[in-house]
């Protein structure tokens, strides 16, 4: 049996969708498939890294740009990464907005504009 999947065309939603809504969608998707049993911290972390590696494959030995003909495939890899991040955060009660805000505050002190502007050095090398 040949299964042909069509890609759906979606209206841009980033401005109107919350992280809580995305977490809920992922949770429902996984619960409907009885996947909780497979989603422990280790396996979700492995999923994040695996999907990130698949994203990287699109750029290995190639240009630094996002080629137009690969945009859909790259978007799907990014969605896979986001799926695992959302699932991890949902399963282990991590508030992603707070986590990002806290990390930005930490990095603000690690990377003061006066020392790092225009540089890609790690904070320990500034």
| Range 1-18 average pLDDT | 71
Asked if the model's pLDDT at residue 4 lies above 60, the reply is: no
Confidence of residue 3 (pLDDT cuts 50, 70, 90): low
Q: Residue 56 in contact with residue 41, Cβ under 8 Å? A: no
**Distance from C-alpha of 48 to C-alpha of 18, rounded to nearest angstrom:** 21
> Over the stretch 14-71, which tens digit does the pLDDT of each residue have?
888 999 999 999 999 999 999 999 999 999 999 999 999 999 998 888 878 887 888 8
Distances (CA, A) of 106 to 100, 102, 120: 10, 6, 17
Q: Which domains does the chain have, with CATH numbers?
A: 19-113 (1.10.287.1080)
* pLDDT of the residue at 65: 82
Amino acid 66: pLDDT = 82
b vs e for 10-21, b when ≥16 Cβ sit within 10 Å of the residue's Cβ? Answer: eeeeeeeeeeee
- State both tokens at 19: 């992280």
Alpha-carbon distance of 56 to 50, in angstroms, equals 10
Other CB atoms within a 10 A radius of the CB of residue 89 amount to 19
pTM for the model stands at: 0.85
Contact 83, 48 (CB under 8 A): no
Rounded to whole angstroms, the Cα distance separating 16 from 119 reads: 34
């Amino acid at each position: 049996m040949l299964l042909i999947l069509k890609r759906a065309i979606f209206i841009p939603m980033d401005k109107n969708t919350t992280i809580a809504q995305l977490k809920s969608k992922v949770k429902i998707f996984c619960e409907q498939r009885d996947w909780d049993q497979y989603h422990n911290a280790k396996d979700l972390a492995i999923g994040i890294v695996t999907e990130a590696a698949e994203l990287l494959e699109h750029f290995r030995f190639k240009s630094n740009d996002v080629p137009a003909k690969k945009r859909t495939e790259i978007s799907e890899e990014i969605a896979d990464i986001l799926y695992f991040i959302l699932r991890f955060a949902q399963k282990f009660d991590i508030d992603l907005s707070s986590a990002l805000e806290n990390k930005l505050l930490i990095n603000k002190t690690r990377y003061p504009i006066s020392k790092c502007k225009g540089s890609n050095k790690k904070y320990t090398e500034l």
